[in-house]
Each structure stands twice: as structure tokens, then as C-alpha cells.
Amino acid sequence: MPDGPDFLDGLLATWAAEAPGINVDALGAVTRIRRLATYLERGVDKALAPLGMTLWQLEVLAFLLQAPRSGLQVTQLLPAALLSPAAMTNRLDRLQEAGWIDRIPDPEDRRATRIRLTRTGRAMTKKALQVRSDAAVAVLAALSPGQRAKLAPLLRGILRGLCESECATIASEASTSNY
């Protein structure tokens, strides 16, 4: 496989010429990761459309799949979603309208609400996860089995570094804010 230049290579060369101090490899990697994420998001949304679901909805539902029968508090959903409390409230409103989740008052803390999957929500989530999985398999078919095996450790390694630095700085600055 010759693997000629892609959309970024020309740009990177220009950038290197204009700003000589930059690291072309690093800049190329993060730019491609961002672009990849955009493509993946659009592809999955397209695949989920027949189920009447979007990716941001599935993200919440899929996390709720591992909740205890009593449900989870809104606050407990935030770190997994990397979302503000306001955004989560909005998502839950839509999911409740769709009939996929229930809000029930927390018996142990009257400030809180417990979020639970409904029966249909649970079934839809399983179907949607299957769709998402199939889409992911199709995308990764572009890589050889050996390449696919290399991918996971790399992603894990970068994420680990980010969670220790980035999340730490977020946490330290989060005196009032919360996510």
C-alpha cells in the first residue's frame, strides 16, 4: 500500500514553512484524531437514524445500562459524559420525552433525582449498541488485524496521560464549577 499524501500533508508543509518551531508529527496526529472523531460521529448518527436515536442519546443510555436497579443520580452521569449539569438536564428531558428513561425522586436525598432506563429504553439501548458496534467494525476494517491490535494501547496511553494532567487541572480549577 503506497499510502500517498492525504488532506493534511500539504497544510502541514505550509505550516512548517510559516512557523518553523512547530512539530509536524504532533500537530498531524492531534488534527487527524479530531477529524476522525468528527467522521465517526457523523457515521454513527447516520446509522442510528433508523432507530430514531442520536449518538449523544446513546451515550447516556449506554452508561445507564450498568446502573443499579435503583438508578443513578444526575451528578453521577456527568463525568462519563464530560458534560455540564445543564446539558445533562436537557438530554434527560429529551430521553424522558422519548420514554427511554424515568426520573424518580431519590429516597435517601430529597435534593436528588434517580435516573433509570425504562423497559423500552433498555431494549433500544441494546439494539443501538449493536448498531454502533457494527459501524465501528466497518470503520476499523480499513486496518489490518495487527494494526487494530496496536491501536488500543496507543489510545489508552494518551487518554491515561490526559486524564492525569487535564482532568487534574480541571479539578483544581473547579472550585465552583463541576464536571
Task: State the binding partner of 29 from DNA, a copy of itself, none, CB within 5 to 8 A by kind.
Answer: a copy of itself
Contact string 123-142 vs a copy of itself (x = CB under 8 A): --xx--xx-xx-xxxxxxxx
Ramachandran region, residue 19 (left: φ > 0; alpha: ψ -120 to 50; beta: rest): beta
- What crossing angle do the helices spanning 119-140 and 55-64 adopt, rounded to 10°? 120
Q: Is 20 exposed, middle or buried (0-12, 13-18, 19+ CB in 10 A)?
A: exposed
Q: Tell me which of 23, 172, 175, 176 binds a copy of itself, using CB under 8 A.
A: 23
Q: Which is nearer to a copy of itself, 46 or 105 (CB)?
A: 46
**Minimal CA–CA distance to 56: which of 20, 86, 94?**
94
Cell numbers 436497579 correspond to 69
For residue 143, the partner it binds in a copy of itself, DNA, none, with Cβ less than 5 to 8 A by kind, is: a copy of itself
CB of 24 to a copy of itself, least distance (A): 8
Catalog residues that contact DNA under the rule CB under 7 A: 54, 56, 73-76, 82-94, 103, 106, 109-114, 177-179
